Structure 1
Amino acid sequence: MADQPELLADVAELETQLAELRFESLSHEDALALGMDLAARAEERNWPLAVSVFLGDQHVFRYACPGTSSENDDWIERKRKTVYKFQEPSFLVGQRLISQGKHFHTETGLDQSFAAHGGGFPLFVGDEFVGAVIASGVPQQDDHAIVVEALRAALDGE
């Protein structure tokens, strides 16, 4: 059996983020603004980040900062599939299982086209799941943190 991955985050904190980071409404224009803000935050840090925003099955925003590659696109798709399956942040899905001493693929039976790594976050309008915002390119806890930062800014009207 493979070595157990490292627990990188407080699962309760990740669950709180999921409960709190919800919109009252979310238009295509809002999704565009969220994606642009996330990309700008990455560029300010000189991070090689790829960013995507999905509403339903539609890919409404995509940007790749310098230093990214098609591998980041693959990670975005794997994280998107995990967010859509569980309607939870991809980081939360993975960290919850790690905290229980379990492995994502073994426990879920899902193939390698799914990834329970940080960077994918569901978009909710109230209790309705409507899409996802996803980042890939830096360590997974940083992918997650910058997405949460951009979501908080969007919800605070910054």
Structure 2
Amino acid sequence: MSAAPSWGPGDIALGLFLFLFVGAMARGQAIYWLARVVTDRVMATGEPGPGWRRRVHRWLHSDGVAQGRRSLARWGWPLVPFAYLTVGFQSMVMAAAGMVRMPVLTYTLAQVPGSIAWAVIYSTVGFAFWGAFFAALQGNPVWLLLLLAGIGLVVVALRAARRRRA
């Protein structure tokens, strides 16, 4: 009788990395294709009636997506992997790539390094954050203070960014 395979920490980390990598690629492709198809339909029909189609239409014409299109026009395909290192902006870049009909092969190849970086970050440092979060929920005051300090830093950084834009 053979022994059952044992799963070590390295195997689990690799599995988690692969799961996150595939998820990042799938999400990027979904946003790209949604924006591409909806843009084609909107261009053919104009503004739709009330409902989800109008909300998507307005989102595609929002300032955020327009900023993504301008950035993509300025920087080209290298913006796609860089966008994976941002929060919020990555969806705008992915949608903009679909809207401007970036070639599928170019977009997909540009996604790979971004998805790898995203998966590495979330399978290492990202899970350290969640570990701190759950430890804080269990009442450990050190982790609670670190978590609150981290949230405070994010809030301050977001407010400073908004003030610079305004």
> TM-score band, normalised by the shorter chain?
under 0.3
TM-score (norm 1): 0.28
Structure whose residues are more often helix by fraction: 2
Which one has a bigger Cα radius of gyration? 2
| TM-score, normalised by the number of residues in structure 2 | 0.27
Whichever structure has more strand as a proportion of its residues is 1
